[in-house]
Chains A and B, each alone.
Chain A
Amino acid sequence: MTAVSLPAVLAGRPGVPRVVVALLLAAVLPPLAGATPLLSEPHALLLTGACVTAMAALSLNLLLGYAGQVSLGQYAFVGVGAFTTGIVTGVADLRLPWLLGLLASAVVGAGLAFLVGLPALRLRGLYLAVVTIAVAYAASESLFRIDAIGGGSAGKVVPRPYVGDTALASNASILAIGLVLLVLLWRADVNLTRSRLGRALRVIKADESVAASFGVDVARYKLLAFSLSGAIAGIAGCLNGTAYGTVTGAGYGYAQSLALLVVVVVGGLGSRGGVVAAAFVVTLYPEVLLSIVGDGIRGVDLVINGVVLMAVVAFQPRGYAGAMADARERRRARQGGEPPLPPTRPSLPDLGRPSGMPTPRRIHRGEPVLHGSGISVAFGGLQAVDGAGLRVDRGTIAALMGPNGAGKTTLFNALTGALTPDAGTVHFLGEDVSSLAAHRRAARGMGRTFQLIGLAKAETVYENLLIAQHLAAPYGVAAALTTLGSRAWERDLRDRADATMDGLGFGRYRDTPVGRLSHGQQRIVEIGCALVTSPELLMLDEPSAGMSPAAAEDLASTLIDIRDTLGRTILLIEHNIPLVLATADELYVMDAGRVIADGEPLEVVGRPEVVRAYLGQEVSA
């Protein structure tokens, strides 16, 4: 199943928390040696409960923390797992193996979550929240109470797993199973976050249009997130049902789902370690309090949970993990700030097209790389682009200029497929791509950057360069979860990311979150992201915006390098006239939605209609 073997777990391999290993040893070894378990049976059950919470937290964290989809009914999926195990293993006289129940829980959990995810494709976050609450109630109050499913008022009985002919009667043995499952899920989660799948989910959460521009099929990945989350929740439910022996709807309701939300938010959304730690703390501390203070304290823990949730959301929305990150940040700041920007003298490597991506179509000499014609876009009453067109030849830099509101970015978006124009056609490498979605155009070799930086800001430079190669490593979900069959791909991605980073002179910022770089640096990273898959055409929306003049000069030489050394084609929207004159071979000027001039840049900027467009209608003296 996963890359981690049991001996490796026992040996405390990095990435497996030592606490888990210690607990596993404590649970497994003494009974094997014929001694009394170190843990009392009630304590083992309690710890198993913590494992269940931790798994459920991982499932909610996948959905909410990684993919940004709100679920207030996660325990419905956990419950589905518990009841499925009961039904599958309880079928009269068949004595179906427990493992089959486990598998069925994962599958049914995934299936239900998939169904809940379907409306999520069209709903904004809060509508989805209401849907999930309704699911929580419908499942725990209604579905799980149907006699055929829930076994009537007594609840569904889940038999203990068998090894040979002996049932695993002790709670400690169930705890051992739970810990193994938790470690496996942890490992799968680690693999997931380091795979193209995890990266795709993170970038969807950050910005869906950025995700699409990197070639991520947003709808498909959202459904995947729901399904995986449902599967993990189902597994947690299977363990919970097995540990307690009977399952009733009351144990898997809205209240439990909200408690799980506390765990995930307090632990820190998106932080695997944080949410698992929080799961153990939140499950165990009330018992510790009870044993210290006595029965009078019963119920106070729930008040504490609610207050802590509010405080965390209001003051530290990134939870415990976020607070730790901030503390590290402050320590680093005290020890002296970031080193200044290194002189970016790029020597860009020619990486070639990644093997996972289609080779761009070959075109005849003289045929344009990009050709848009007759493009019109209207927003409400405003004709933003009005029959505009342009062509870009191979190995050249074309620039698009014009005053604010001239329609440059709108035309740009129509060319990349980010919006559908009312009229007009777009040909890319001789192929009519007018009806293709943005990510399909990206796959054909169109790389772009955004006016407002199109990067996942919270992720590091390196991560962003990996996310940008989404289409370059087309391995599937199983490979992502197990790393089997994805390693060669990932190695290739990392090599390309490293080469691009070094080529741009950004090696020392490898692990710096992009959001902490200066605006100009972010621009360069963004261009790196567009370049890393070696697209035929690079489309840049105001790359020099917010740059100092010196940085803009560096940018100019980078662009010239991309054209002359790598032989790529570039289309850029630019306000910075010196930059345009220093780089562009062809200049298009737009005003009021139309292309009013095009040709040799220096000649074009001198034309009266261009000067008029810039200085306005009434030139005063």
Chain B
Amino acid sequence: MSAAPMLEIIDVTAGFGAVTVLHGVSMVVPAGSIAGVFGLNGAGKSVTMKTIGGVVPVRSGRVLLDGEDVTTLSPEQRVARGMGHVPQGRQVFPGLSVEDNLRLGAYTLRRRRRARYAASLERTYSQFPVLRERRHQLAGTMSGGQQASLSVARALINEPRLILVDEPSAGLSPVAQLELRAVLEVVRQTGVTMVLVEQNVAFGLSLVDTAHLLQTGRVVHSAPVASLDNDTLATHLGIGRVLAGATGSALLARKRGTS
């Protein structure tokens, strides 16, 4: 793992309208590593992702991609500079065929170096054989797991330097989650830098090198996965402690007392 950061977020605040969601988020993702962003609903995971991608503009702070300041660039420009997206809900183009989805994924690659596309497509098909089988099928008619594969493949085919994966397991059946797990393993083996947002913490932790734990728009804890234990996770996520019943019983006592 090289030490130079592929992605650096420096003290970013962001939000919608009058609402500020991120209050000074900072994060460093070294090249070739996989970073996980975890938190409960509303913690700001998705907004963090959208800020990195340029979909939600930052109010203050900076976003650096491989040392280059991309804070003011549009999402399209960031993709051209090597960012890839696996958006939340997958968002494949349902009315287009699998191959057309992939071709669109390689939009900036084909503009830069069209000759590379054939090889890139071939590589993608060998990584995801199911997509080769279904290359002419409309993407919207595939199963959830297959759409997840397509969404990941669509990002990879453009040969990105950084890939942003937003809630990939959401809405997938357990079987499809297993498929997805295998797909993301493929991505990991390519050595591309990845940022993964996941609500299914265990699923995410099994993939990432470093975990960033978010609560109400702030990073409350960043650590290598190896150094994490359930208690730390529980404390910083705010779910585990309740599942363990520690504060739950106190609340329960209060409820019994008042009613």
Tell me, yes or no, whether A binds B.
yes
User: Which A residue's beta carbon lies closest to that of B41?
Assistant: A575
CB distance from A586 to the nearest CB of B (A): 14
User: Which A residue's beta carbon lies closest to that of B174?
Assistant: A592
CB distance from A564 to the nearest CB of B (A): 5
CB of B189 within 8 A of chain A? no
A380 to B240, CA, bound (A): 34
Assess the A602–B243 pair: CB atoms within 8 A.
no
CB distance from A122 to the nearest CB of B (A): 22
Q: Hey, which chain B residues are within 8 Å of A557, CB to CB? A: 258
Assess the B249–A602 pair: CB atoms within 8 A.
yes
CB of A33 within 8 A of chain B? no
Q: A382-B144, A617-B202 are in contact. Are A577 and B248 (CB under 8 A)?
A: yes
Segment among A135-143, A422-430, A436-444, A608-616 that sits at the interface with chain B:
A608-616
Give the contacting residue for B202; candidates A564, A602, A619; CB below 8 A: A619
A138 to B254, CA, bound (A): 71
Interface string of A219-257 (1 = CB under 8 A from B): 000000000000000000000000000000000000000
CB of A405 within 8 A of chain B? yes
- Count contacts between A and B, CB distance < 8 Å: 90
Assess the B255–A616 pair: CB atoms within 8 A.
no
Assess the A575–B202 pair: CB atoms within 8 A.
no
CB of B252 within 8 A of chain A? yes
Assess the A545–B42 pair: CB atoms within 8 A.
yes
User: Which B residue's beta carbon lies closest to that of A575?
Assistant: B41
Could you tell me which residues of chain A, from 554 to 572, have a CB within 8 Å of some CB in chain B? 556-557, 560, 564
Give the contacting residue for A583; candidates B172, B243, B255; CB below 8 A: B255
A545 to B41, CA, bound (A): 8
Count B-side interface residues using an 8 Å CB cutoff: 42
Give the contacting residue for A581; candidates B167, B171, B251; CB below 8 A: B251
Q: Hey, which chain B residues are within 8 Å of A619, CB to CB? A: 202, 230
Interface string of A373-393 (1 = CB under 8 A from B): 000000011110000000000
Task: Choose among B177, B225, B243 the residue with the greatest number of A CB atoms under 10 Å from its CB.
Answer: B243
Could you tell me which residues of chain A, from 563 to 621, have a CB within 8 Å of some CB in chain B? 564, 575, 577-578, 581-583, 592, 602, 605-606, 610-611, 614-621
Assess the B248–A564 pair: CB atoms within 8 A.
no
Assess the A618–B251 pair: CB atoms within 8 A.
no
Give the contacting residue for A546; candidates B42, B177, B202, B245; CB below 8 A: B42
Other than A577-B239, A610-B243, A618-B202, give 18 A-B pairs with Cβ distance below 8 A: A381-B142, A404-B171, A404-B199, A545-B41, A560-B255, A577-B248, A578-B242, A578-B248, A581-B251, A583-B255, A606-B243, A614-B239, A615-B202, A616-B169, A617-B174, A619-B230, A620-B205, A620-B206
Please give me the 8 A-B residue pairs with the lowest Cβ-Cβ distance, nearest first.
A616-B202, A405-B171, A616-B203, A616-B200, A577-B242, A615-B202, A581-B248, A582-B251
Contacts from B to A (Cβ < 8 Å): 19, 40-42, 141-144, 167, 169-174, 177, 199-206, 225, 229-230, 239-240, 242-245, 247-249, 251-252, 254-255, 258-259
Contacts from A to B (Cβ < 8 Å): 380-383, 403-405, 519, 545-546, 556-557, 560, 564, 575, 577-578, 581-583, 592, 602, 605-606, 610-611, 614-621
